Structure 1
Amino acid sequence: MKILIIGGNGTIGKTLTKHFKAEHEVIVAGRKNADIKVDIADSASIETMFKNLGKVDAIICAAGAAKWANFNDLIEEDYYIGFKSKLMGQVNLVRIGQNYLKSGGSITLTTGILADDPVIKTASAAMVNGAIHSFVKAVVLEIENGVRVNVVSAGMVKDAYEKYRDYFPGHNPVPMKKVVNGYVRSVLGKDNGQIIRIYE
Structure 2
Amino acid sequence: MSETVVVIGGTSGMGLATAQVLSSEGYRVIISGRSQDTINKALSQVAGDCTGFPLDFTDAASVASFFKQVGSLDDLALVGSGKAAWGNFRDLKIEDLKVAFDQKFYGFFLCTQAALSKLRADGSITFVIGGASRSAIPGTTGVAAVNGAIQAMAFTMAKELAPLRVNILSPGLFDTPVYDWMTPEQKADFFKQMGGEFPVGRVGKPDEIGQAVSYFIKNGFTTGAILDVDGGGRLH
Query: TM-score when scaled to structure 2?
Result: 0.76
The one-letter code matched in structure 2 to 1:3 is V
Q: Distance in 1 between matches of 2:223 and 2:109?
A: 16
2:225 aligned with 1:194: yes
2:156 aligned with 1:125: no
Native 8 Å contact 2:12 2:177 kept in 1: no
Q: Distance in 2 between matches of 1:77 and 1:154?
A: 26
2:27 aligned with 1:24: yes
2:109 aligned with 1:91: yes
2:201 aligned with 1:185: no
Hey, what does 2:56 align to over in structure 1? 39
Q: For residues 40-78 of structure 1, give each alpha carbon's deviation from its aligned partner in whole angstroms, at most 9, with x where no partner exists.
A: 112222111111221111111111212223434332111
Native 8 Å contact 1:67 1:79 kept in 2: yes
1:21 to partner: Cα distance: 1.1
2:115 aligned with 1:113: no
The one-letter code matched in structure 2 to 1:31 is R
Bigger shift: 155-164 or 66-75?
155-164
Query: TM-score when scaled to structure 1?
Result: 0.88
**1:174 aligns with one of 191, 198, 204:** 204
Note the residue ranges of structure 2 that are not aligned, 5 or more in a row. 40-51, 181-186, 232-236
1:87 to partner: Cα distance: 1.0
Q: Distance in 1 between matches of 2:101 and 2:178?
A: 25
Q: Distance in 1 between matches of 2:214 and 2:227?
A: 11
Q: Distance in 1 between matches of 2:173 and 2:7?
A: 20
Native 8 Å contact 2:33 2:53 kept in 1: yes
Report the secondary structure of 1:67's partner residue: coil
Hey, what does 1:64 align to over in structure 2? 81
Native 8 Å contact 2:18 2:207 kept in 1: no
Note the residue ranges of structure 1 that are not aligned, 5 or more in a row. none
Hey, what does 1:11 align to over in structure 2? 13
The one-letter code matched in structure 1 to 2:230 is Y
The structure whose Rg is larger is 2
Bigger shift: 155-164 or 33-42?
155-164
Native 8 Å contact 1:5 1:60 kept in 2: yes
Q: Distance in 1 between matches of 2:206 and 2:66?
A: 28
Q: Distance in 2 between matches of 1:20 and 1:183?
A: 8
Hey, what does 2:175 align to over in structure 1? 158
Report the secondary structure of 2:77's partner residue: strand
Q: For residues 141-168 of structure 1, give each alpha carbon's deviation from its aligned partner in whole angstroms, at most 9, with x where no partner exists.
A: 2115x321111111011346955859x9
Q: Stretches of 4+ moved more than 4 A in 1?
A: 160-166
Percent of residue pairs identical: 24
2:54 aligned with 1:52: no
**Count, aligned residues:** 198
RMSD (CA atoms): 2.2
Report the secondary structure of 2:116's partner residue: helix
Q: Distance in 2 between matches of 1:161 and 1:77?
A: 22
